[in-house]
Structure 1
Amino acid sequence: MILDNLYLVLAQGEVSAEPIGDPLEVLFHSNVLNFVLVIVFLVWLARKTQVFSAISVKRNTIIQKIKISETEKVNAEAELVSTKKQVAKSDVEVQIITKEAKEIASSLSKRIHKEADIESDEMRNKAQRMLQAESAVASNDVMQDISKAAFYIAEEHIKQAVDEKLHKKYIDEFIDNLENLKV
């Protein structure tokens, strides 16, 4: 009876000394019973429509995705460690490559200097040969001019030295000698 009155106070919001009525009627108006009935109906409906198996499948799919993501996380961490090691080694590799580049540049520079020296020596020798050839040509020209001048001077000297009488005398002697030569 006390429970009935309490229910009445809670359900109606007012206090009454009258009993609520039939216990079956109270049971149908009870929120607890309605809640239990809804739960039972939902469970029955879930079994009928195989909601639990779908939930189980989804649960297993989610578990698999979690396992895959954990595996990927481990792989990513391993790759991160590997990348960190490579980055740490990259400084050393850069130094090695820089050293090799400097050595190559040095050897190239030496080779270019050597080739330039050889080429300059060849150019110098060619210039000297050209100068010698030009000098020889100039010397020949001078010698020809000197020879011509010497012949001209000699001819003039002979013309002045030999007078007309001697010339006739030599011609006559030559002619006489020609007559003696006849056999």
Structure 2
Amino acid sequence: MEDQVVVHHVSNVLEADKWRLYQHSVGFGIPVRDIANWAHDVGAKVIVDAYQSVPHMTIDVHSLNVDFLVASSHKMCGPTGVGFLYGKIDLLSSMLPFLGGGEMISDVFLDHSTWAEPPSRFEAGTPAIGEATGLGAAIDYLSRIGMQTTHDYEVELGRYLYERLLSIPNIRIYGLAPSEKIKRAALCSFNIENIHATDLATFLDQ
């Protein structure tokens, strides 16, 4: 099996994880473009989990140079139970389907079949029509707002959240402090001294 590198774009726990925050064409996160280039240098394919980045910023798969990228609908204001896979067309065209049914077959012969062109060959059976329509509506909605507008506003919210949390005694916030060069996601992972994280989450929930 060909070597694969699987990596998330932005973590919903620590937006930088063990990587430094990295400025590139899509904002911040781990340096996916560099990872893709390194992986390709040794013949590996790159799969990116963009569940936490696609709903919050502009993503250019060509600039990132990734082979595959996945995201889900429900994090984009859409319905549950559906998502999408981006793949480079040459890779998708070389792959065999793993499920059968519906219109994923092009021609049927006595001893073999030929497959439809991507993406149809990977859409066996009746698709999730309602969910896909809802995802399309969610994408239209986010596009009207503008992903850069969304990203800029969330950077502002993230800075405000970080600064307000700092006023709480005995708090430890994970990740680097926001600055002109470092733009955090609109979340903060933290612990408070002598309070178990589960207890704290329960208190905050109530």
Please say which structure displays the higher CA radius of gyration.
1
Which has the larger share of strand? Answer: 2
Q: Name the TM-score, length of structure 2 as normaliser.
A: 0.15
Which has the larger share of helix? Answer: 1
User: Which structure would you say has the larger RCO, counting Cα contacts within 8 Å and 6 or more residues apart?
Assistant: 2
